[in-house]
Structure 1
Amino acid sequence: MPDTPLVSVYIATHNRADLLSRAIDSVLNQSYKNIEIIVVDDGSIDQTPQRLEQLSIKIDNLKHFRFEEARGACAARNLAIQEASGQFVTGLDDDDEFLPNRIEEFVRNYSPEYSFICSTHYSRIDHQLVPSPLQKREVSLSDFKKKNYCQNLFAERSRVLSIGGYDTTLPAWQDYDFSFRLCEKFGVALKLDNCSYIVDCTAADQRISTSPKTLEGYRMFMEKHGHKLTTAEKDMQLANSLFNRRVSTTFIECFTKVHYNPARYKLFKLYVLTHYPRLYYFLVHTARHWTNFTAKK
């Protein structure tokens, strides 16, 4: 592998002209410079087409394409990956940001023994950056059968193409399905503990997570992969789906809906969150500070 392989960053965008500029700037500010940026406009009706035309005049390594009618983020990502020239590809959502060392860290830590690399991230909540914990450094298929550990991963383009890219039939859970299939075909993934990505947690994101599409995505994911899962793994998938959609659960249901203890614990957290939200966030805040305190000792 060359010391500085070309990395293609793909961005699917829809009606977010102002935020898109911020996302692109975060790629231009990378410490690693051998990058191309590929943006696919998924049928935007705001100023996105004009903004991309203006940016492409100033940015030599920016390529952009457009669907006249919206086909969904996954179709846009697949087009970007097909048009990419890089040995590696990685995604960026149009309302999120890379931190400056993200691509450099991915290239430096890459090894073909891993199916892909991902990282911990920051969540921007009320103008504060909240770091995600590193739960596992090496993530196996067995881990992925219980939950999704990765988003906007870094992988060889040839591997992504070999699994057919993103599944455009799924209304939700597309990133999870994408990671799952890569890990299924190419083995263990590596997760870096460097929080090199900022997720913008807005009200729009919350609407998406609680929309009917999320439930349908879970159901379709289980139809596609459920036969590969044990009963315990199915319990975890159900618990994660209920938690992500903030479905109110009774105390008794924490123990009767599922029988796998980690899934019961997840439902108990959901019970506390939906019935005693102030207590839940107090406990989360306390646990986070305790973790930071013990890590510094």
Structure 2
Amino acid sequence: MLQKGKNFIRRIVGKTEEIRLPDKRYLATPVSVLKPVSVLIPAYEMYGKGASFLEKSLDMLQQQSFQNFEVLVSDQSVDDSIQRCCEAYAGKLKVSYVRKPERGNSCSNVNFALDHARYDIIKILFLDDVLTDSNALERTCKYFHWSKAKWMISACNHEEIETGRIYHNRFPEPFLDEHLFSAFNPLGCPSVLMFSKNDLRFDLQLPALMDIDFYFRLMKKYGPPTLFNDINVTIGVHPGMVTNNGGAGNREQVNLELAIVHQKYDRPLKAAGNIS
């Protein structure tokens, strides 16, 4: 039976909740037993800021204490700024650049990256998100191995890109089937996800609900996610982020996709819930 990690109390507006910290025994996992990882970065020009976001992420990846990984950049930009950024890291990181021949939505871009991933452990990292510190990937990989996870969700914080302010530590909560059908995301965006490579792909019809639909199918395949209450990813918050551009922040798009998922899984249609 696994030893419980220590708990702490987090007080936020309107409620008090208890967060269980990870059992620290996972930290003793030897790096030598960890499987190599494919870090997937779906990229595009992102209103002229894509290359600068990618550079920031690659800089942090270059600093990682665990280095047995590839960075696979799937590029569907209208220019060559992402490609030039990747070329600048030749010899510094194991960067695999793949040019996506046709422009698509975020689901399409992640799927293209998945199709080209070399390794059996997948870590998605959206273009404007970044690992928090130089040990972040090592901690994530160790807990994934130690807990025998098939899919795992980590905690994260957020960065206001314009000011650099770090705020809102978010810890994942248990995922239920009904969360998909009410458009409620208790886990977070795909940047907090690590999973074993498989044949699942993101649904091209669901750019706003891409994450919770994928989580729903991962749960059907493997059971509930392993929750890792360690903050190892920083989510970039800015006007050009996917959430604000046809993503989960677009209520009209969400309602359209809710109708699709209810039909897809033969469920009665319900009103949308809170999206986070």
TM-score (norm 1): 0.68
Q: 1:4 aligns with which of 34, 46, 54?
A: 34
- The equivalent of 1:178 in structure 2 is 214
Once superposed, what is the RMSD of the aligned Cα atoms? 2.9
1:104 pairs with 2:138: yes
1:183 deviates by 1.4
For residue 52 of structure 2, give the secondary structure of its aligned residue in structure 1: helix
Give the Cα–Cα distance (whole angstroms) in 1 for the partners of residues 180 and 149 of structure 2: 14
User: Unpaired segments of 5 or more residues in structure 2?
Assistant: 1-31
Residue 204 of structure 1: how far off its partner (Å)? 1.9
Equivalent position amino acid for 2:151 in 1: F
CA shift in 2, pair 1:70/1:26, >3 Å? same
Provide the C-alpha distance between the structure 2 equivalents of 1:98 and 1:105, rounded to a whole number of angstroms.
Answer: 11
Alignment size in residue pairs: 232
Matched residue SS, 1:240:
coil
Distance 1:185 1:121 in 2: 25
Corresponding residue of 1:281: none
Provide the residue aligned with 2:153 in structure 1.
118
Structure with more contact order per residue of length (Cα contacts < 8 Å, sep ≥ 6): 2
Give the deviation of 1:182 after TM superposition: 0.8
Please identify, of 211-220 and 123-132, the stretch whose mean Cα deviation from structure 2 is larger.
211-220
Identity %: 19
Q: Per-residue deviation at 1:172?
A: 1.9
Q: Does residue 199 of the first structure (1) align with residue 230 of the second (2)?
A: no
Q: Which of 40, 58, 75 in structure 1 is aligned with 2:74?
A: 40
Select the residue among 90, 100, 105 that pairs with 1:67: 100
Which structure features the higher share of strand residues?
2
Question: TM-score when scaled to structure 2?
Answer: 0.72
User: Per-residue displacement from partner, 1:96-134 (whole Å, max 9, x unpaired)?
Assistant: 111233322222222676441111211112422113343
Give the counterpart letter for 2:195 in structure 1.
A
Shift of 1:62: 0.9
Partner of 1:155: 195
Decide whether aligned partners of structure 1 residues 190 and 210 sit closer, same or farther in structure 2, where only a CA change above 3 A counts: closer
1:11 CA displacement: 0.4
CA distance 1:217–1:35, change in 2 (3 Å): same
Name whichever structure is richer in helix by fraction: 1
Local SS of the residue matching 1:124: strand
1:131-280 map, 5 Å:
131-134=168-171, 136=173, 138-141=174-177, 147-148=184-185, 149-151=187-189, 152=191, 153-158=193-198, 161=199, 163=200, 165-205=201-241, 207-208=244-245, 215-225=252-262, 234-235=270-271, 238-240=272-274
* Partner Cα distance (2:63, 2:118) in 1: 20
